[in-house]
Amino acid sequence: MAVPEGVKYAIIGAGIHGLSTAYHLALELKAKGKGSGEDILVLDKTAIAAGASGIACGVVRNNYFQPAMRELMAHSVGVWESDAKAYSYHPVGYMQISPESMHGDVGTIYEQQKAIGYESEFIEGEADCMTYMKGLFDDWQAKNITSVLHEKRGGYANNTASIYGLATKAEAEGVRIMTGIEVTGFETGSNSGAVTALQTNKGTINCDYVVVGVGPWVNQIWNYLELPKAVSIKGSDGEMHDGVPMWKYWCLEEGTLGVDPNMHKMNDGAFPPVIHVDSDAPLYSDVDGSLITDQMWGIYYKPDFNFGGIQGGAAPYKVDQEPDKVAVDPYGPDSPDFIVDDNFIHMWCSALAHCQKRFEGKIQTYKKHDPSGGLGCFTPDSFPVFDVFRENVYVVADSNHGYKMLGVGKLVAQEIAGASSELLEPFRFSRYEEGKLHPVSNSPFPWS
């Protein structure tokens, strides 16, 4: 199919951010009498949901130590709830179950959730935590747990189904989505740095405005835009730290136990919240009793009919390569390099058994023949950058927090239509130089 000669708004990437921005921008333009979805073209080099959004575990939670992240997530949860059916969203809630080293941080999260009216319950002390968890699951047995934050909103959504739901909503507003079109560069004006056209493998497309929502491929597009490969960051010590690489890759490790998802119901027969456990208890093998780790570890899991079992993951690992050298393609399960190995399977299945007796001896059901896991591209502080570059290019770089951030596209659309967003303000690129950094928690995950 030939590409159009020109378009008002070109959006690169048909994942959660590209499509959410497209759909909400169509609504904004219509409401303001400034145009319609027909002014918007979404391009994807592969297919709808071909990137991280199509393989995400799909967890939607509020639990963040950073106030700005929490407020953004509360907004996003509202968007998920606005059309749960189309977004294939399961509002089962979410639990952060933690050891003493995280008790204080999670207590702060609870207090601030109360302050913004986000419903949650906080249980403290080892005995009360055990009683609370056994009240939900009579086989609960995780050790060293001294706080439980039970978020009553949030849950998870089915990855591909939700992205197709979003695409259907965007197309119903007149948005065009073209797949198999790869953006290979940008043309800029002679008097300014603004982008005037996209170069693609199928020809040039003139455009007035560009939105970049390319997930793990952001480093490549960033290079095409000739943006800085390194940044200066003002630290909490007031000192400037120069030459910090703009992008780094981590590999997310997730997988599925091939059991009947119904085996993970609660005592009352209902489906449970998404469970996230961080622990400092020594983790022993469920296979031979050997010590797997005596360091902090963490896992999350949920029963999921979409994945066909108990699906979840553990902490990611850092990819020790320069970003330009990381093979992002082929992506996800197709990658020969960035999928989970036997160490993950052993650790995750043993950790499940550490938490609940029902998972003991289940490692042999793990779906070893379905490759899983995938790359995420992270910013210098591992928090998103939502900002305009080169005058007319809005980069939505979520630092891999993003499937749950369905509401970001709505705010980005409002900003493009002229109303700046207080919720997005803490995520500007200038925060590095200004030292306006987000607080850091004691979680073992780079995204909490």
Considering beta carbons, is residue 12 or 133 the nearer one to ligand FAD?
Answer: 12
Among 24, 404, 410, 438, binds ligand FAD (CB under 6 A): 404
Query: Which 8-state DSSP code applies to residue 264?
Result: G
Considering beta carbons, is residue 50 or 129 the nearer one to ligand FAD?
Answer: 50
Considering beta carbons, is residue 12 or 299 the nearer one to ligand FAD?
Answer: 12
Three-state DSSP string of 332-401: HHHCCCCCCCHHHHHHHHHHHHHHEHHHCCCHHHECCCCCCCEEEEECCCCCCEEEEECCCEEEEECCCC
Interaction pattern, residues 369-388, with ligand FAD; x per rule: CB under 6 A: ----xx-x------------
Cβ contact 140:356 at 8 Å = yes
Site for ligand FAD in 6-65 (CB under 6 A): 12-18, 43-46, 50-53, 55-59
How far is residue 156's CA from residue 139's CA, in Å, rounded to a whole number? 23
Site for ligand FAD in 228-287 (CB under 6 A): 252, 254
Considering beta carbons, is residue 22 or 123 the nearer one to ligand FAD?
Answer: 22
Strands 195-200 and 203-212: antiparallel
The continuous run of DSSP H or E covering 271 comes out as none
CB of 146 to ligand FAD, least distance (A): 25
Write out the two tokens for 67. 């106030």
CB of 315 to ligand FAD, least distance (A): 12
Considering beta carbons, is residue 64 or 140 the nearer one to ligand FAD?
Answer: 64
Among 87, 110, 118, 217, binds ligand FAD (CB under 6 A): 217
Which residues are registered as beta bridge partners of 405? none
CB of 268 to ligand FAD, least distance (A): 25
User: Which residues, 6+ apart, have CB-to-CB distance to 108 below 8 Å?
Assistant: 65
CB of 181 to ligand FAD, least distance (A): 6
Q: Where are the strands (E) in 174-296, listed by range?
A: 176-179, 183-188, 195-200, 203-212, 230-234, 240-245, 248-257, 274-279, 283-284, 291-293
Write out the two tokens for 172. 């119903």
CB of 161 to ligand FAD, least distance (A): 14
DSSP 31-58: HTTS--GGGEEEEESS-TT-SGGGT---
Considering beta carbons, is residue 61 or 129 the nearer one to ligand FAD?
Answer: 61
Query: Is residue 215 involved in binding ligand FAD (CB under 6 A)?
Result: yes
Residues at the contact surface with ligand FAD, assessed by CB under 6 A: 12-18, 43-46, 50-53, 55-59, 182-183, 213-217, 252, 254, 373-374, 376, 398, 400-404
